[in-house]
Every structure is written in C-alpha cells, then in structure tokens.
Amino acid sequence: MDERIVGQNIRALRESRGLSLTLAAAKAGMSKGTLSKIETARISPPISTLLAVANALGVHLSRFFIEPGERPPWVLTRKGEAPRMSPRGPECGYAYRALALNMPDKDVEPFLLTVRPTDRPVVFQHGGQEFIYMLSGTRPSPMAAHAMDVALTLHADHELNASTFAARVAAATLTDIHSAAVAGIATLKGPLHGGANAEVMKMLIEIGKDAPGERIDSYVKGKFARKEKISGFGHRVYRTEDPRATHLRQFSKQLGQQAGNLRWFAMSERIEALVKDEKKLYPNVDFYSASMYYTMGIAIDLYTPIFAVSRISGWTAHVLEQLANNRLIRPRADYTGPAYPQTWRPVDQR
C-alpha cells in the first residue's frame, strides 16, 4: 500500500464532500489527529481503519488506492446499467474484494455486481501481477508477482488427484463442463485436499505470531498425542518432499524478508523440522503457500479459491481428455455387511 497516495485520495475525497477533518474523523470513529496522520501518510493504517474512513466518506475503499490522474482499470455496474460479463480472473478478484468489503459505495448494486475492464492504465506482464493488483488495489512487487505466477502454475494440474478424479467422474456421465468443474471445486474444498492451505494458516495463527519455540513444539506434539493430522504434511503419492513445496518455501522466506516479517516462515520451518523428525512426513504444496499468501496480504478464505482458479485448467484439460475417449466411470462395491437373510423390524416398532 502506498500511504502517500491513500492519504492524498482521502483528503481530496473528504474535501470534495465538504467535510472538515473533525467531522470526517468523528464519522469514522477516530480522532482528528489519527485522520490527519492518515492523510499526511504519517501512519500506515490497517484496512479496517481505511474501511471506516471509506464508510464515513460514503465511497468505496478501492478509491483510496488509485493514483491521482489514473483511471481505475475497472468500473462497477451501477443500478440500472446493463450488467456485462467479465470472465477474467483478476476482475473476479476485484469483485470478491468489493463484496467482502460489503460494498460501502451505496450506488453500486451489490448483488448485480459485475466488473468490466476499461482502458487499462497499467500494463501487466504477468497474470499474477494483475491478480494481486485487482485483489488488493496495490501493485505488487516484482517478487510477489513472480511468486503468484509460480504458485498459479504449480497448482494447475497434478495427475489424478481427488478433485480431478471427481471432475472426470462427473464428466464421464456427459454432464456439462461447468458441472464437472463444480464437482472438482466441491472436492478440492475439503481440508484433506485443497482446503489444507487455509487450515495451515489458521493453525499458525492459533499458535500465535509471537509464540516462543516451546509453544510451537508443544502445540505440534499435542496434535501428535491426540492423533490429529497436521495440515500441510503428507501426501498420498509423495513419500519425500512434494516438489512444489520446495519452490513455495523459498517464496515464503523471500516475501517474509521483503516484508520485514519472517515470523510465519520461521514458525513454519520449525514445524516442518518437528514433523519430519517425529513422523517422517514432508510438507506438501499447501504448507508454505499458506505463509506465502498471508505475507502477501491475501485473505485466508481466498487460499483455496486461488487453488481452484489455477486448477480449473487441469480439471478442464482432464475433462476434455475424458470426453475424447469416454466411458462411464462406475466402480463396483463388495458387500461386506451381515449375511442374508437379515432380521428386519418395522419402523413403528423401533
């Protein structure tokens, strides 16, 4: 976030609405001094504070991040305007952000939200760069953009993983490709599959950002003792390190260094050493993607959807392959229940 641009925008928007510093601050539930510091870029406010200011000014938060003179790369469909479809992932990222922030811009119809690109003032070299920009409103560093590109590439396909298998089973019934992708998404969401990345971050937060090493160890050992799984470790196929984790570990570290906050990476490394030592289990793709995304400021509930954004290419490729030589996938089941004949009691006697 560029505090200078945010501050300038807030001041301009406040003044254009004829609001004094005192009145705007009161509406935002903060002191005049705090608002003044935000406007003059003397503090770096959290997004929740900026949201309060946006609400006070009656504007959408995203307006704070647009450089003066720059046209936003998107516009929202307003009430009465014909909605236009925008199939591009980055715009979906912006739409998510707008919805997640509860659309404080009152003249935007939240439920008919669509986003259409206008003249793009920013030339993007990477999908990752654009994705983060649309999601956060700020241009990512080259490293963050590269990390996102690599993450999206690494997640794109992975043989017959559970969600791809589900998508192929659905496709084999000759349902439509959208429904096959939905089957993939529903399967990916589970915490033993793509849902694990969000679970990893929730675990790190539960342990605590500033937790001493002993607390990390006792937390992990407690899970072992209770025979609970540690999200982000183990794999049905790999018995050594998931090769995707090798890259994501590196980005987690580098982005942490860039942000001046290596706590999440350090905690992840310590957990990795412990799990390797005690259980001989290695990190999978989800383990280091968690701290990497968190360091990039991405909301935890987007981790698995980002996985899905990437994996859609794998699912659809598999669906096309399935359809090219299709046969219904219908395994048989071996009955192992009680032998025939069984006793049966009518419902009203149970």
Ligand X SMILES: CC(C)(COP(=O)(O)OP(=O)(O)OC[C@H]1O[C@@H](n2cnc3c(N)ncnc32)[C@H](O)[C@@H]1OP(=O)(O)O)[C@@H](O)C(=O)NCCC(=O)NCCS
Pick out residues in 56-115 that bind ligand X (CB under 6 A): none
| Nearest approach, Cβ of residue 182 and ligand X (Å) | 20
Active site residue 286: yes
Beta carbon nearer to ligand X, 74 or 233: 233
Q: Nearest approach, Cβ of 194 to ligand X (angstroms)?
A: 7
By CB under 6 A, name the one of 13, 50, 115, 196 that touches ligand X: 196
128 touching ligand X, by CB under 6 A = no
Position among 9, 55, 163, 231 found at the interface with ligand X (CB under 6 A): 231
Residue closer to ligand X (CB basis): 216 or 230: 230
| 143 φ, ψ (degrees, to nearest 5) | -70, -45
Which residue's CB comes closest to ligand X? Answer: 234
Task: Single out the residue of 100, 305, 112 nearest to residue 194, CA to CA.
Answer: 305
ω before 341 within 30° of 0 (cis)?
yes
Closest CB to ligand X among 91 and 272? 272
Nearer to ligand X, 91 or 199 (CB): 199
Q: Cβ 193 to ligand X, closest distance in Å?
A: 6
Of 281 and 296, the one with the shorter C-beta distance to ligand X is 281
By CB under 6 A, name the one of 131, 219, 233, 315 that touches ligand X. 233
Question: What are the residues facing 117 on neighbouring strands?
Answer: 74
Q: Using the minimum distance from each CB to ligand X, give the nearer residue, 24 or 196.
A: 196
Catalytic residue among 286, 318, 334, 348: 286
* Near ligand X in 240-299, by CB under 6 A: 279, 281, 284-286
User: Which of 27, 146, 229, 263 touches ligand X (CB under 6 A)?
Assistant: 229
Residue 207 DSSP SS3: helix
Query: Residue 36 CB, nearest distance to ligand X (Å)?
Result: 47
310: number of Cβ within 10 Å: 20
Hunting for tokens 């003059």 — which residue is that? Answer: 40
- Which position among 46, 236, 246, 257 is part of the footprint of ligand X (CB under 6 A)? 236
**How is residue 5 written in tokens?**
């641009």
Report how far apart, in Å, the C-alpha atoms of 279 and of each of 215, 216, 233, 239 are: 19, 16, 10, 12
* Selected binder of ligand X within 122, 174, 192, 320 (CB under 6 A): 192
d(C-alpha 252, C-alpha 265), whole Å: 6
**Contact region with ligand X (CB under 6 A), list: 108-116, 140-148, 225-233, 289-297:** 225-233
CA distance 31 to 136: 26
Q: One of 158, 235, 277, 348 is an active-site residue; which one?
A: 235
Compute the chain's Rg from CA coordinates.
24
Kind and range of the H or E run holding 117: strand 115-117
Is 230 among the residues that bind ligand X (CB under 6 A)?
yes
Identify whether the C-beta of residue 200 lies closer than 8 Å to the C-beta of residue 232: yes
Can 235 be counted among the known catalytic residues?
yes
Give the ranges where the chain is alpha helix by DSSP (H): 3-16, 21-27, 32-39, 47-57, 89-100, 127-136, 142-154, 162-172, 177-188, 196-207, 213-225, 243-259, 263-279, 285-295, 303-324
Smallest separation (angstroms) from ligand X to the CB of 233? 4
- What are the residue numbers of the active site? 235, 286
Binding site residues, ligand X, CB under 6 A: 192-193, 196, 229-236, 279, 281, 284-286
